[in-house]
Structure 1
Amino acid sequence: MGPPPRPASALSNGTRPTTSDGTPRAIPATPKRGPLASQRGSMTAPRSVSAAMIGASATPSKRSSIVPPSTIKKPPLSQVQSPGSNPRTRPLSNSKTMVARTPVSRPSVAGAFGQAVSPSAITPVSTPSPARKTPETARKGPNSSTLLREQLAKAKAAKRSESVNSTDATSPKPNSSQALRDQIAKAKAEKRATVASPPRPRTNTPPRDAIIPDPAEIASFDFGLNDPFNQRPNGGFSLLRKRVDGARANGKLNLAAMELKEIPEEVIKMYEYNPESNAAWSEVVDLTSMILADNNLDTLPESMFPDVDYEAVVESEDVVPQFGSTQNLDLHGNMFRELPLGLGRLPQLSKLNVSRNKLTVETLGVVFQIATLRELKLAANELEGAFPAKVESLTSLETLELQENRLTSLPPEIRALTHLRALNVSDNRLTSLPSEIFTSMPVIDLNASKNSFSGSFFDVGTVPYLQNLCLANNSLTSLYGSDTILLPSIKHLDISTNRLSIMPNVAAWTSLITLLVGENSLSTLPEGFCSLKQLRNADFTANNINKLDERIALMDGLENLTLAANPLRERKFLTMGAEDIKRDLMSKLGPETVPDAELSQISEDADIEVEGNGWKLTPSGTLDLSSQIMPEVDEDAVACFAESHDIKQLYLQQNLLSKIPMVIAQLSFLTVLDMSKNNIADPLTESLALPKLRELRLSSNKLRSLKHISSMLSAPRLHHLDVSNNRIAGSLPTLRESYPELTTLLASDNGIDEVSAESLEGLKIVSLSNNDIVRLEPQIGLLIGTLTSFDIEGNKFRVPNYAVLKKGTDAVLTWLKDKIPSPTDEFFTPESPAL
């Protein structure tokens, strides 16, 4: 199939022109392609490819043409003619051209597509194709634009042919992936060659005129790589000079961490006039601060701090020492074994830091001569034994740090330091401290952790000034021998990791903000703990606390309370935050204690309200008298109110009642009685019958036993009994004997220590959490199926363990049932006769 027919001209009404407006020419030869798999060409191929793809014969494929071939005989033309030889013909009369113009020939189909771009693997053959006879329809003379396009196509084809012929004909051209790998390998080789070769200087001159430096000279040049920040003393003294120049201007010399083994000469002579220096000598000030910390210094030159009387030198004509105005000297982190004698003569030295050196007690004589010292740091030296009594000469001292030594005692003469405010003696071997520290000295910050203190720490009952006290990591068993010690100014107290089993009353520590008592042996919270209104953080980790005071809920300022690793009955508190703990304890909080004067006033107000008939009964028959802070109920008013109303539910919680009022016997329709959060210890003193009572709530009171209730209260239809958060002790009675319809018993947070299977028979919901039960009878497991809820967490028994308890009631009862011995097993009982 030949190429598609050429589209018609826009000026010929859909038909081709009937005449040719140019001289016909031969089609230029196109290089032959290699053998193809198909004789048909793709319509998407380039123009030259479509034009060159013909049949097996050299004769071009014939095309159907609308215009018949011309009958005019013309002489044969060369393959390419110049435009100047084209004969100018007239347009025909039937042409639509309105002006006389040279007709433009249309290119044949053979030239309708561009020159073929041969694939890289195909080499065009230089042999021309066989001569073909040009069809009559293609014999048209080319115009200038057509000729230009053909010349450009021939130039591109020739360029591609030269590019292909220049390649190595012996080896086939690699594919794209192989070419990529070759390029990568070539790039790596060039990079390695560049690294291996010495650096060449950049120049704009031709390579033959470039100056190539000597490699030895390059190798010996210092690029500053060993000391990029120019801080090493051997790498250049520019940094040292800058700091010395700066010290002349501001009076502060900082040579810390410069690996100095001796004081540089530039420092010793920094105030000697040097005409070559750029320093502004008119602006030089005296040196007041010298920091030589974290170096390798073991001595100071005598010329820096000469042992002379500075006042006498000033009056004489001798040269005044250059560093006589030093006020702050920091030598920590060096290797000093002794200090120059001249330090004791410095008249203005107020801060001396010689921590982390190798000083001993015998070398501190120079230090005790500096009467102007206000801050002395001797930490992490080789001080051993008793601290010298000569410390009494430092009467202006405010801060003394002696930590990380091996001191065993402080002298009583330390009481002469009447201005001392901060004392750090941690990590030593001290067994006691002079009592004068707590009485005659205004010490507000004391750190005595990691020592050998034991027994009681304080031997005085009042410490008026102390604000921050750290006694962690000792062997203290108490803070004071008595139950009370006054620390009115204490704000932060850390006594963790000791052996404290009891703490004094902390109610007088009104300024306390942080209390850390972790890793001790406390069994209860300190007395007066709940009255600390300023307390923000408290840590009782790893003690023996098993119960919390409900009044913690009233500590509004408490933000962090840590109780981890304590044998709390309610394990949920171990991971709860302070706000969650307070919220939970708030629900168990009993009524607040009210003074007698307020009680009498409240009682009078209540009487007035009753007389004014202020009670209201809801449509469901509920009379709510809760939170009235009533010490007792006006029985006459209740009886009068009951005559005209059927009271079915009576709420008397959160009052100050001490017993169940007997007037409720007249409430024949009463089904619910709520007297929780009162002060009831003995609920009944005489028998009381409530035939329709179904629910009785007595939680958060002071009940000591259930015998008064079971023996004096007649309530045959009682279904629900709540006596949680009381003081009930002993064994749990069999309540179903007195209340046959009882199904729910809530008795958590008490002191019940024994539970039998008989006492639980017939009950469906039982809560005995946070009691003192030491053992569960295996026969309780036989109640599976009737006992649907059995909560016994937070007791003293170890089996079943906590993992079994967390699985729920069925798992606990099943575990107990499995522990019932088989009838065929032989075992001894207390009643069994001895063999």
Structure 2
Amino acid sequence: MDRLLKAARASGSLNLSNRSLRDVPVEVYRSLDAVGEGENWWEAVELQKLILAHNNIEVLKEDLRNLPSLTVLNVSHNKLTDLPAAIGQLSMLKLLDVSHNSIAVIPEEIGSVASLVKFDCSSNQIKELPCSLGRCSALSELKASNNFIASLPEDLTNCSKLAKLDVEGNKLTALSDNLVASWTMLTELNASKNLLSGMPESIGCLSRLIRLDLHQNRISSIPPSINGCSSLAEFYMGNNALSVLPEEIGALSRLGTLDLHSNQLKEFPVGACKLCLSVLDLSNNSLTGLPAELGKMTTLRKLLLAGNPLRTLRSSLVSGPTAALLRYLRSRLSEAEEAKTPAKEEIVTKAARLSLTSKELSLEGMGLSVVPPEVWESGEIIKVNLSRNSIQELPDELSSCLSLQTLILSRNNIKDWPVAVLKSLSNLICLKLDNNPLRQIPSDGLQAISMLQILDLSGNAASLPENPSFSSLPHLKELYLRRTQLREVPSEIMSLSQLQILALSQNSLQSIPEGLKSLTSLTELDLSDNNISALPPELGLLEPSLQVLRLDGNPLRSIRRTILDKGTKAVLKYLRDKLPDQ
């Protein structure tokens, strides 16, 4: 113990976890007072990090006030029944973990810890959180799962920096509108296994929300305002009382996983067929059929339908491969529905007229073979959507659209990289050229669009040079390279420090470089449908930021199926635990 304390006085960090301690050694509370022979008192530093996890400690003394420089205090997995009021005197504390104890009350004094960023009090005996917690305005992560909390204090509206909230396994009957509306920075909300009867209308205020887990409650409806959750990637609503889904759910363009199992749904709305899901769980509902429009959801890899009284579909289709069922549904789409298109010229003229005020021009799916002059004649245009046409090249006149920020050219017949036009579009931040027969991009082709934040080259098998110069795009936040015949992850991707979304699905990747750990801003990583058999443990270091990791369709042998089925957090924790001790 003396050796550990001496080292702590030099480093400011003391780890006494897994030592079967019944009490906190007295010397810990007076670390600096115990400077021993051979030590220089002026070189000793105050204790900043104290780990006491996995012991049998029953009491934390008020002497805790003698450690005012603590920034990290972890006393999880002990036998504490309360916390000392002195906790409020730790003014520099940023991380407090008291999980897995028998604590019944969190002292009001915690509100004095103004610097608190992460607080974990999960798996205790807590019936309510103190109102004073609302004074911890720097709080970004709050875990209070597996307690007996019946309501959350309204004072938490002051915690406007809250990014992650986990209140799973409590007695909550409602999430108040005011609270949810105030948490606009929230990226992850887990309120599963409670007694919630509804979702607040203000859920639509959470435009940054990536993961929403409300499974195993009593929720009977989803409000139309859900369409405001524009970043949502995973939505878990299994084991509730839903009888209908709002059409507005179809607006969630980034949603990849939608779990609706064990509800009372009688139909799946046509509006929701616009989603680009990879997993849809509709098992154990009351569905008698499926809309033919669901067949258009070609991104869907797993559709679960067991336990429904489906009468309009053969059982072999229901239990067979998802792709076969989707093909069957597409075949039922009426030709008339697909052929309904007004006169082309009329639509182009009307769209151009609207763009004068909106500054956006959409000519999607118009059967155009050339870019109409209305595009560059529309004044200060900022967004042009020409997707799903038959355009083969971009005219030089497009270079005059100097204010253009978004250019969508998906699903056309463009063969050559439009380098001359792109060089003139200095304000371009979004370029989508996916699903074109694009030839190889010139080695300096990306340098012309250095301000780009979103780039989609998916479905262009021959477009990428051997060493694509992605480092020319330092501001890139989203990169989509699906179906580009990649055999390895381009090394320059590792330099994209601002990258938030990286989609590499449906390629021929066999391994993932450990260098991906440098992408610390990454929130979504799609590696599905490759030939990956193992993942580097270093990928687990992305856990604080990475919210969505898609791995289905790979021959992964190093991770058990039970872990993969639990989702992103479980996989990242498994990988992190595989890292050698630092």
Quick check: 1:300 aligned with 2:60?
A: yes
Aligned match of 1:575: 319
CA distance in 1, matches of 2:220, 2:124: 30
Question: Quick one: which amino acid aligns to residue 555 of structure 1?
Answer: M
Structure 1 residue aligned with 2:342: 596
Mapping of 1:79-90 within 5 angstroms? none
**How does 1:751-830 map onto structure 2 within 5 Å?**
none
Residue 578 (structure 1) shift: 2.5
Q: Structure 2: any 5+ residue segments left out of the alignment? A: 348-366, 368-582
1:550 alignment counterpart: 292
How many corresponding residue pairs? 341
Residue 260 of structure 1 is aligned with which of 1, 4, 21? 21
Hey, what does 1:499 align to over in structure 2? 241
Larger radius of gyration: 1
1:469 to 2:212 alignment? yes
Task: Write out aligned runs for 1:551-700 (5 A).
Answer: 551-568=293-310, 569-591=313-335, 592-598=338-344
1:421 and 1:536 mapped to 2: Cα distance? 25
Partner of residue 291, structure 1: 51
Change (3 A) 1:573 1:458: farther
Q: Contact 1:299/1:338 (CA < 8 Å) preserved in 2? A: yes
Task: Please give the secondary structure, in 2, of the residue aligned with 1:476.
Answer: coil
Change over 3 Å in CA distance of 1:587–1:283 after alignment to 2: farther
Q: CA deviation at 1:242?
A: 4.7
Q: 1:740 matched to which residue of 2?
A: none
Task: Quickly say closer, same or farther: Cα 1:387–1:528, change in 2 above 3 A.
Answer: same
Whole-angstrom CA distance in 2 between matches of 1:413 and 1:274: 43
- 3-state SS of paired residue (1:475): coil
CA shift digits 1:578-623 (9 cap, x unpaired): 323223334434332442124999xxx9xxxxxxxxxxxxxxxxxx
Distance 1:599 1:562 in 2: 44
CA distance in 1, matches of 2:97, 2:203: 35
Structure 1 equivalent of residue 89 of structure 2:
345
Q: Distance in 2 between matches of 1:403 and 1:500?
A: 24
Q: For residues 280 and 588 of structure 1, do their structure 2 counterparts lie closer, same or farther at Cα, with a shift above 3 Å needed? A: farther
Going from structure 1 to structure 2, the CA distance change for 1:242 and 1:556 (only over 3 Å counts) comes to farther
The alpha-carbon deviation at position 556 of structure 1 amounts to 2.8
- 1:446 Cα offset (Å): 1.2
Query: Are 1:489 and 1:509, in contact at CA under 8 Å, matched by a contact in 2?
Result: yes
One-letter identity of the residue aligned with 1:342: A
| Compared CA separation, residues 488 and 268, structure 1 to 2 (3 A) | closer
2:130 aligned partner, one-letter code: P
Contact 1:563 1:573 in 2 (8 A): no
Which amino acid in structure 1 is aligned with residue 183 of structure 2? M
CA change 1:265–1:544 in 2 (3 A) is: same
* Mapped partners of 1:513, 1:575: distance in 2: 22
Distance 1:245 1:527 in 2: 67
How far does the alpha carbon of each residue in 1:659-698 deviate from its partner, in whole angstroms, 9 at most, with x for none? xxxxxxxxxxxxxxxxxxxxxxxxxxxxxxxxxxxxxxxx
Q: What is the 5 A alignment of 1:222-241?
A: 240-241=1-2
Q: How far off its partner does 1:282 sit? A: 7.7
Question: Take 1:522 and 1:493, find their aligned partners in 2: how far apart are those partners?
Answer: 16
Partner residue of 1:445 out of 178, 185, 188: 188
Residue matched to 1:531: 274
The offset of 1:259, in angstroms, is 1.0
Pairwise CA distance, 1:565? 1.9
- Give how far 1:428 is off: 1.2
Distance in 2, matches of 1:263 and 1:585, equals 65
Indicate the SS of the match to 2:96: strand
Task: Please say if 1:394 is aligned against 2:136.
Answer: yes
Would you say the 8 A contact 2:96–2:116 is kept in 1?
Answer: yes
Q: Give the letter for the 2:334 counterpart.
A: G
Alpha carbons 1:463, 1:488 under 8 Å: kept: no
**Counterparts of 2:345 and 2:291, CA distance in 1:** 25
Aligned twin of 1:159: none
SS in 2 for 1:329: strand
Q: Residue 251 and residue 575 in structure 1: after superposition, are their counterparts in 2 closer, same or farther (change >3 A)?
A: farther
TM-score by length of 2: 0.54
* AA in 2 matched with 1:297: I
Q: Among 108, 112, 120, which residue is 1:377 paired with? A: 120
Distance 1:297 1:370, change over 3 A: same
* Distance apart, 1:327 and its partner CA: 0.3
The Cα of 1:502 is off from its aligned counterpart by: 0.4
Give me the whole-angstrom Cα distance separating, in 1, the residues matched to 2:61 and 2:83. Answer: 10
Mark the CA change 1:580 to 1:253 in structure 2 (over 3 Å): closer, same or farther.
farther
d(CA) in 2 for partners of 1:460, 1:517? 21
Amino acid at match of 2:328: D
Deviations 1:20-51 (A, max 9, x none): xxxxxxxxxxxxxxxxxxxxxxxxxxxxxxxx
Say which SS state the counterpart of residue 107 (structure 2) adopts.
helix
1:716 corresponds to which residue? Answer: none
Residues 539 and 418 from structure 1, CA distance in 2 versus in 1: closer, same or farther, beyond 3 angstroms? Answer: same
**Secondary structure class of the residue paired with 2:219:** strand
Which residue, 199, 223, 229 being the options, matches 1:457?
A: 199
Distance 1:343 1:557 in 2: 51
1:270 to partner: Cα distance: 4.3
Specify the alignment match of 1:250 in structure 2.
11
Kept in 1, the 8 Å contact 2:140–2:163? The answer is yes
Match of 2:169 among 427, 431, 454: 427
CA contact (8 A) 2:284 2:305 kept: yes
CA distance in 2, matches of 1:597, 1:283: 82
What CA distance in whole angstroms lies between the structure 2 residues aligned with 1:574 and 1:581? 7
Q: Is the 8 A contact 2:270 2:294 kept in 1?
A: no
Structure 1, unaligned runs of 5 or more: 1-239, 307-320, 606-835
Q: % of aligned pairs identical?
A: 29
Pairwise CA distance, 1:292: 0.5
User: Against the structure 1 CA distance between its residues 265 and 517, is the aligned structure 2 distance closer, same or farther, given a 3 Å change threshold?
Assistant: same
Deviates more, 1:515-524 or 1:462-471: 462-471
1:517 pairs with 2:260: yes
Q: Does 1:488 align with 2:252?
A: no
Aligned to 1:406: 148
| Structure 2 CA distance for aligned equivalents of residues 371 and 302 of structure 1 | 19
CA distance in 2, matches of 1:422, 1:581: 37
**CA shift for structure 1 position 376:** 1.2
SS at match of 1:552: helix
Residues 1:264 and 1:508: Cα distance change in structure 2 (over 3 Å): same
Greater Cα offset, 465-474 or 279-288? 279-288
Q: Is the 8 A contact 1:402 1:425 kept in 2?
A: yes
Question: Quick one: distance in 1 between partners of 2:11 and 2:42?
Answer: 13
Contact 2:141 2:163 in 1 (8 A): yes
Question: What one-letter code is carried by the residue in structure 2 that aligns with 1:299?
Answer: V
The within-5 A match list for 1:54-69 is none
The 1:275–1:349 alpha-carbon spacing in structure 2 relative to 1, beyond 3 Å, is: closer
Trace 1:13-412 onto structure 2 (pairs within 5 A): 240-268=1-29, 270-272=31-33, 276=37, 284-303=44-63, 305-306=64-65, 321=66, 323-361=67-105, 363-384=106-127, 386-412=128-154
Q: Would the aligned equivalents of 2:282 and 2:304 in 1 still touch at CA under 8 Å? A: yes
